[in-house]
Amino acid sequence: MMKNGIVVVDDDPIIRMDICEMLEEEGYTLAGEAKNGEEAVELVARVKPDLVIMDVKMPVMNGIKAARIIRSMQDTSVLLLTAYSQRELVRDARDAGVAAYLVKPVSEEDLIPAVEIALSQKRRIDSLKQDLERLKQSAEDRKAIEKAKGLLMKAYALEEEEAYRRMREASMSARMPMGRLAELILSDGPEAMSGHGA
């Protein structure tokens, strides 16, 4: 379920310990602890956790500023802890891309569902990103295939269908994806086909 675990950030070591214990009891992996926002940013850049649970009020750099930096670096979910629930805090937290916030003292009944929600948001974002990557790749492949087909048509005076058929056959006999074959044709010229079964 989780790849890189959870980072817990609070300037109070007892609160950190409590939260870490609650998480471990529920079987979550801990990726590290930090005592202020600056340490949190450095730690997150290094361990790339799935989730950061972070206090708002901390010395050196507060949780909202740290959350904003973390969210701009990577898709780590952030769960903020606060001793008070103020309107502008909620707005700032939302603007910083925070998944949720909890009011301290945090109980296990509040923490675990919030962690689950934040992690499921992270999984959804990850899977959307993968889908986008695949779409981008297939669009790039289509462009390359079109260009390579054009090169073959020109080089061997072929009709479009014949050029495409030859590419498909070469792709199948070389057990090479069409996109990869197209890249070869574009980089090495139409002769690249002859080495791949066409």
Q: Among all chains, which residue has been given the structure tokens 């870490």?
A: 20
Residues 24 and 87 in one domain: yes
Task: Enumerate the H helices of the chain as residue ranges.
Answer: 13-25, 37-47, 63-73, 87-95, 108-156, 160-173, 178-188
CATH number for 54: 3.40.50.2300
Mind listing the pLDDT tens digit for each residue in 140-189?
Answer: 999 999 999 999 999 999 999 999 999 999 999 999 999 999 999 999 98
Q: Is 194 helix (H, G, I), strand (E, B) or coil?
A: helix
- Structural domain boundaries, residue 140: 132-196
CA atoms within 13 A on the CB side of 57: 10
pTM of the model: 0.67
Measure Cα distances from 141 to 112, 137, 151, 177 in Å.
43, 6, 15, 9
DSSP state of 106: P
Mind listing the pLDDT tens digit for each residue in 35-59?
Answer: 989 999 999 999 999 999 998 888 7
Select from 51, 71, 106 the last residue of a domain. 106
Residue 124 domain-assigned (yes or no): no
